[in-house]
A = this chain, B = another copy of it.
Amino acid sequence: MSEFDLIERFFRQKWAAAPTQQAQAATDSIVLGIGDDCALLQPAPGQQLAVSCDMLVEGRHFFADVDAAALGHKALAVNLSDLAAMGAEPLGFTLALALPPARAQDAPWLDALSDGLLALAAQHACPLVGGDTTAGPLNLCITVFGQLPAGQALRRDGARAGDELWVSGTLGDARLALQALRGDIALPPAALATARARLERPTPRLALGRALRGIASSAIDLSDGLAGDLGHILAASRVGACVDLDAASNLIAVRACLAGASGPFGQDFWRRTVLAGGDDYELAFTAPAAAHAAVRAAAQAAATPVTRIGRIEAAPGLRPTDGAGQPLVLTAQSFDHFG
């Protein structure tokens, strides 16, 4: 089918038929959607525009046999997660899609891909406004646009000594799924299913990000692991942090399924898993200790669990400790896409 037919059938018409109120509400800020040289967006008065872009490549970010709906979900989720980490609300996104010839003719696969993508888009009132399709090795590149009141962005450079360090949700499970799918570790079926859902269908924490405006001093989303991503906050803010790895590794959801399982599942394994992590798409953020109750209230308002796992300090560097506050020596490298 032609490029035009593909977009029309699997994306434009399907979105136009979306039944949710959110999908319809989103159109208020879209002056012109798919079908012209550019889309036209109208941010609300006084708002800044937040922009982020992520590219997903077969064999690098997902397996060739990935469920297409999960792939569609994830491609948008990782971008929405960047909006969440800035405290922005979504306006819309573009999708550029390179498809091998067989995929371009595979209607069920394309249907599932756009189902997964558009369901998440509708949930967050974030319409597809344009993009590109071409023949080529499978590649999805999404650029997402959001808005937020001028001056209220949650940046990486605002952490201060004395701030508390928080994370949302659960950590490490996506990495465990990846290790299991690669055959590096074995997980019981229930644990694998839980972990795999975290790897393939991450939840962008948009409500939490918005609720933390004016409360958090810095934020980042956890895509490459706690060590690497927290490292970006520390570097940008020119501070260090003490991180309780036992508190953090208690946030690994599948640990509960692995009590008594054979394998490498000792305390050191969990600590390394949470530190190296990757693909969790939770938020890590800092806030003044005086805002502790405000953070709890924001998390409750956003219906998103948060856990305090450390404290920002003036001395540079990331200092892992155990649950009793004793220093730990670990070597864990963040996932680097050219590593």
Contacts and interface: CB of A to CB of B under 8 A. Distances in A.
Copies in the complex: 2
Given A6-B338, A49-B43, A53-B94, A38 B86 contact: yes
A60 interface: yes
Query: Of A36, A82, A83, A134, which is in contact with the most chain B CB atoms at under 10 Å from its CB?
Result: A36
Interface residues of A, number: 70
Given A135-B338, A338-B3, A88 B38 contact: yes
A192 interface: no
Interface string A81-108: 0110110100010111110010010000
A40 B31 CA distance: 21
Interface in A1-39: 1-4, 6, 31-32, 35-39
A34 to B, nearest CB: 11
A178 interface: no
A338 B40 CA distance: 27
B338 A1 contact: yes
A53 B236 CA distance: 30
A54 interface: yes
11 contacts: A2-B336, A35-B156, A36-B155, A37-B82, A38-B83, A41-B48, A55-B141, A60-B134, A133-B337, A133-B338, A139-B139
